[in-house]
């Protein structure tokens, strides 16, 4: 069910939510958090769909905030979606125009679930320091996405400088399969020490340097990484090579969606390695509402161990 509320107020939206639940039978009990999505006009449906899918694992209230041009007449339009149009969540879409969008915090404060954690997500345009932004200040977790920044490499390079506990980025979340598989390999015989690591990825992949930083931090060995030209590898991480005395272990994608694990004296194993969807990344980040300490160490200590920003740029 979708309820349109043109030229409205936060108070009227709150009352409408109560009416929708009472008249339509939608139940708000069991909502575990409030997810605030700050996005732009015309880009909201993809992120709402991802939130709806993730809500089946994490029932929540979703507040989608879009702010129009500052020179427009002040007006707040809203839309409430429940039931089949909202997965297991309640979705409130807020379109603020003119001065009505001058204070994003005031738009959402009256709509937050009481006594529930708040997670903020910027799918595209992102404040320079998310934790100090109007929305970021009221959120326990703050999610950004380096792949949608104008300069993904520069954004990753700056993550450590403005990190605050509770921050995370989907460039890190997309590494979960890689980290799990590499950790599993090192937990198996012959338990030889890794002497060096090589990481390769596409030029559009901000996750490449984060994977290299994680391996540098955890293994404490030299890590060489580089971005491949588009005609050689189009997108995402291409390969990780672990060099050990008994031979190299290689985890490599011959094509998108598939990886092959090659180890000394063992048959090659083909693995499913699709690019993670927005829904998968969002659902994973919502599973933990405490700070991701490892992520914080990777973007500060790990990137620093790889070398200075000037050194890293030479790998591009």
Which residue, among 156, 137, 269, 145, has the nearest Cα to 208 in the 3D structure? Answer: 156
For the residues 41-61, what does the mean pLDDT come to? 92
For the residues 217-239, what does the mean pLDDT come to? 94
Which three-class secondary structure state does DSSP give residue 270?
strand
How many other C-beta atoms lie within 10 A of the C-beta of residue 124?
15
For the residues 1-28, what does the mean pLDDT come to? 84
- Report the alpha-carbon distance of residue 142 to residue 291 in Å, rounded: 10
- Report the alpha-carbon distance of residue 291 to residue 265 in Å, rounded: 41
Q: What CATH code is assigned to 170-316?
A: 3.30.360
Contact 143, 164 (CB under 8 A): no
Q: Name the pLDDT band for 69 (thresholds 50, 70, 90).
A: low
Residue % of the chain over a pLDDT of 70: 93
Residue 311 has a pLDDT of 41
Phi and psi of 239, rounded to 5°?
-160, 160
Residue 308 has a pLDDT of 43
Q: In what order do the strands lie in the sheet with 196-202?
A: 223-228, 196-202, 237-244, 247-255, 257-262, 269-273
Question: pLDDT tens digits for 113-166?
Answer: 999 999 999 998 899 999 999 999 999 999 999 999 999 989 999 999 999 999
Per-residue pLDDT at 52 exceeds 60: yes
Contact 123, 43 (CB under 8 A): yes
Cis omega (within 30 of 0) on the bond before 190? yes
pTM: 0.91
Residue 252 burial by Cβ neighbours in a 10 Å radius (0-12, 13-18, 19+): middle
Which residue, among 43, 49, 274, has the nearest Cα to 174 in the 3D structure? Answer: 274
* Pair of tokens at residue 2: 């979708």
Contact 30, 262 (CB under 8 A): no
- Report the alpha-carbon distance of residue 31 to residue 215 in Å, rounded: 37
Chain mean position to CA 147? 10
Q: Which residues contact 125 (CB under 8 A, 6 or more apart)?
A: 38, 39, 40
Residue 135 burial by Cβ neighbours in a 10 Å radius (0-12, 13-18, 19+): buried
Mean pLDDT of the chain: 91
- Report the alpha-carbon distance of residue 218 to residue 197 in Å, rounded: 12
Q: Where in the chain is the domain with CATH 3.30.360?
A: 170-316
Question: pLDDT tens digits for 303-313?
Answer: 999 974 334 44
Helix (H) or strand (E) holding 44: helix 44-55
Per-residue pLDDT at 315 exceeds 60: no
How many other C-beta atoms lie within 10 A of the C-beta of residue 186?
15
Residue 26 has a pLDDT of 52
Residue 84 has a pLDDT of 73
Q: Name the pLDDT band for 100 (thresholds 50, 70, 90).
A: confident
């Amino acid at each position: 069910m979708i309820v349109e509320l043109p030229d409205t107020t936060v108070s009227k939206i709150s009352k409408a939510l109560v009416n929708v639940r009472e008249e339509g039978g939608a139940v708000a009990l069991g909502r575990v958090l409030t997810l605030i999505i700050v996005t732009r006009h015309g880009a909201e449906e993809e992120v709402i769909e991802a939130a709806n899918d993730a809500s089946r694992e994490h029932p929540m209230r979703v507040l989608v905030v879009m702010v129009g041009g500052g020179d427009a007449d002040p007006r707040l339009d809203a839309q409430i979606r429940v039931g089949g149009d909202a997965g297991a969540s309640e979705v409130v879409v807020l379109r603020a125009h003119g001065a009505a969008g001058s204070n994003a915090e005031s738009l959402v404060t009256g709509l937050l679930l009481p006594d529930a954690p708040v997670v903020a997500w910027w799918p595209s345009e992102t404040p320079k320091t998310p934790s100090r932004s109007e929305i970021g200040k009221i959120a326990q977790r703050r999610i950004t996405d380096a792949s949608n920044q104008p300069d993904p490499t520069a954004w990753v390079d700056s993550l450590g400088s403005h990190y605050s506990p509770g921050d995370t980025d989907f460039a890190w979340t997309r590494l979960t399969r890689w980290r799990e598989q590499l950790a599993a390999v090192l937990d198996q015989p012959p338990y030889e020490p890794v002497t060096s690591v090589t990481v390769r990825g596409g030029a559009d992949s901000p996750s490449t340097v984060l994977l290299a930083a994680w391996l540098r931090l955890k293994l404490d060995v030299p890590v060489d990484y580089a971005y491949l030209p588009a005609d050689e590898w189009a997108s995402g991480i291409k390969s990780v090579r672990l060099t050990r005395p008994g031979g190299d272990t290689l985890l490599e994608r011959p094509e998108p969606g598939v990886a092959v694990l090659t180890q000394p004296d063992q048959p090659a194993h083909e693995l499913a390695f699709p690019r993670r969807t927005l829904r998968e990344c969002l659902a994973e980040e919502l599973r933990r509402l405490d700070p991701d300490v490892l992520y914080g160490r990777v973007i500060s200590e790990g990137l620093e161990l790889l070398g200075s920003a000037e050194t890293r740029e030479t790998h591009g």
